[in-house]
Structure 1
Amino acid sequence: MKGTLYGVGIGAGNPQFLTYQAAECIKKCNIIAIPDSGTENFISYNIVVQMIPELSQKQIIKISTPMTKDKMVLKEHHKQGSKMILKYLENDNVAFLTLGDPSIYATYMYIHKFVEKNGGQTKMICGVPSFCAVSAALGISLTEGNDMLHIIPATYGLEYALSLSGTKILMKAGKSFQSIKEILFQNKNKFDCYMVENCGMKTEKKYFSIEEFPEHTGYFSTIIIKDKKKESL
């Protein structure tokens, strides 16, 4: 194969989060792969094209990434998407755009592994993770001193996560928001809770306490849960 598959992290929503390395990689690739799902469809494209207008002149291929927990369904879609990319890699480079960083809960990694197993070359370009962008937007630290940091998919339960010492990051909290909000409210004396919706986008909203949380929120919502310090209890 002549080409290389690049997993390109484009950052957390603000076009200015796109790194120089990511931009240069996208510019040199003739084929651009983007996730095709109910939530991420064209979002990555719309972010990047603001910084790289020539993206609109490149060939775009859509990789089906259905929003389901069914492992067999996901595996089949990842396999089909990988096979499509492998065909393009026979003659060209492919850049797979992924929100945030490709190493953090990204569909790209499934494609990456399949392509590697089938003889393809791969390379990852890091991006600004959503939780780093969120902490900056809020003006708070994620860790101090000996604090631990836990990154947790919000759709997979909260009770165990709250038992962990240190800062908890709940990724993509929209679907489970009502139950998450209820549990956090019950434990408001133990934790300081923050949330950002659509970080880096024009529709970004910030919340600095559980009392400020809205009734509903969208898919791209990140919650930060920090243990209350002993002196503030």
Structure 2
Amino acid sequence: MATLYGLGVGPGDPELMTLKTVRLIKESDIIAIPQSGQDVNTAYAIAKKAVPQIEEKEIARIAMPMTRDQQALDASHDAAARRIIDYLDHGKNVAFLTLGDPSIYSTYTYIHKRVLASGRQAQMVPGIPSFCAVSARLNEPLAEAGQALHIIPASYKALDTCMELEGTKVLMKSGKAVGEIKDMICGQPHRWSAKMVERCGMEGERAFHSADEINTQAGYFSIIVVKDK
């Protein structure tokens, strides 16, 4: 039976793609990439550097609108799943490319669940998460011994509540919340220290080694690591 593979291509550096992901890209019949308006899909661009043969594959551009309108999201996910199911029913294996790891805030998971619910086969293939690459870029651990590690979608959650959590806080999906995060940390410098990496492993990568340095105009691919003092 044909299978849908959710492939994590890692955070940006093509050398961080796993051997399994590389193999499945080569073996799959269809390469599915989420499309939200940009001309070049980031996950595809990363994969192409590691697997140039990907350009010979049939590409399925899957519409994934950047919105929080649940009705619109459900409609797009349903349509994407139907399209992929059609490929599977014709005996074609599909490799769906996603940044980082497919189990962490990935649009792929919505397709994955729908395909499984339809009785078809789907499998997640792990990739290196962006926050692990950020930790390596900063050259320091995220958590030690009994320290808790919290992964927080910063633009979706109440920051004041999240910042009360003990341990290391990884703030993903910061977006327009970067300024609020910086103000909160700088306002209580005795409580927290923070570092940020923008576009880790990609062209234009920048590291900020203190809260004061953080650029409030940083782009979407920015992760802030906050530690208790």
**Pairwise same-fold verdict (TM > 0.5):** yes
Return 62-71 or 147-156, whichever deviates more.
Answer: 62-71
Q: 1:38 to 1:207 in 2, by over 3 A?
A: farther
In structure 1, what is the equivalent of residue 87 of structure 2?
A: 88
In structure 2, what is the equivalent of residue 110 of structure 1?
A: 110
SS of residue paired to 1:155 = coil
Deviations 1:28-51 (CA, angstroms, capped at 9, x unpaired) = 001001111146951111110011
In structure 1, what is the equivalent of residue 72 of structure 2?
A: 73
Q: 1:147 to 1:177 in 2, by over 3 A?
A: same
Quote how far apart the aligned CAs of 1:175 are. 2.5
In structure 1, what is the equivalent of residue 182 of structure 2?
A: 181
SS of residue paired to 1:215 = coil
In structure 2, what is the equivalent of residue 59 of structure 1?
A: 58
Deviations 1:49-90 (CA, angstroms, capped at 9, x unpaired) = 011111011011111111111111111111101101000011
Quote how far apart the aligned CAs of 1:150 are. 0.4
In structure 1, what is the equivalent of residue 226 of structure 2?
A: 225
In structure 2, what is the equivalent of residue 20 of structure 1?
A: 19
Which letter does structure 2 place at the counterpart of 1:114? R
Instruction: Give the total of aligned pairs.
Output: 227
> In the aligned structure 2, how far is the partner of 1:203 from the partner of 1:30?
33
**Which runs of 5 or more residues in structure 2 are unaligned?**
none
Quote how far apart the aligned CAs of 1:144 are. 1.1
> In the aligned structure 2, how far is the partner of 1:159 from the partner of 1:175?
16
Quote how far apart the aligned CAs of 1:188 are. 2.1
Task: Kindly indicate whether the alpha-carbon contact (under 8 Å) linking 2:29 and 2:93 is maintained by their aligned counterparts in 1.
Answer: yes
> In the aligned structure 1, how far is the partner of 2:220 from the partner of 2:159?
17
Quote how far apart the aligned CAs of 1:145 are. 1.6
SS of residue paired to 1:175 = helix
In structure 1, what is the equivalent of residue 6 of structure 2?
A: 7
In structure 2, what is the equivalent of residue 231 of structure 1?
A: none
Task: Kindly indicate whether the alpha-carbon contact (under 8 Å) linking 2:2 and 2:121 is maintained by their aligned counterparts in 1.
Answer: yes
Quote how far apart the aligned CAs of 1:6 are. 0.2
SS of residue paired to 1:199 = coil
Deviating beyond 2 angstroms after TM superposition, the runs of 4 or more aligned structure 1 residues are: 38-41
In structure 2, what is the equivalent of residue 147 of structure 1?
A: 147
Task: Kindly indicate whether the alpha-carbon contact (under 8 Å) linking 2:32 and 2:96 is maintained by their aligned counterparts in 1.
Answer: yes
Which letter does structure 2 place at the counterpart of 1:176? A
Deviations 1:175-194 (CA, angstroms, capped at 9, x unpaired) = 22222222222122211101
> In the aligned structure 2, how far is the partner of 1:47 from the partner of 1:160?
35
TM-score normalised by structure 1 residue count:
0.94
Q: 1:39 to 1:144 in 2, by over 3 A?
A: farther
Task: Kindly indicate whether the alpha-carbon contact (under 8 Å) linking 2:185 and 2:193 is maintained by their aligned counterparts in 1.
Answer: no
> In the aligned structure 2, how far is the partner of 1:66 from the partner of 1:183?
31
1:100 aligns with 2:100: yes
Task: Kindly indicate whether the alpha-carbon contact (under 8 Å) linking 2:6 and 2:108 is maintained by their aligned counterparts in 1.
Answer: yes
Return 184-193 or 143-152, whichever deviates more.
Answer: 184-193
**Which runs of 5 or more residues in structure 1 are unaligned?**
229-233
Which letter does structure 2 place at the counterpart of 1:124? M
Task: Kindly indicate whether the alpha-carbon contact (under 8 Å) linking 2:182 and 2:212 is maintained by their aligned counterparts in 1.
Answer: no
TM-score normalised by structure 2 residue count:
0.96
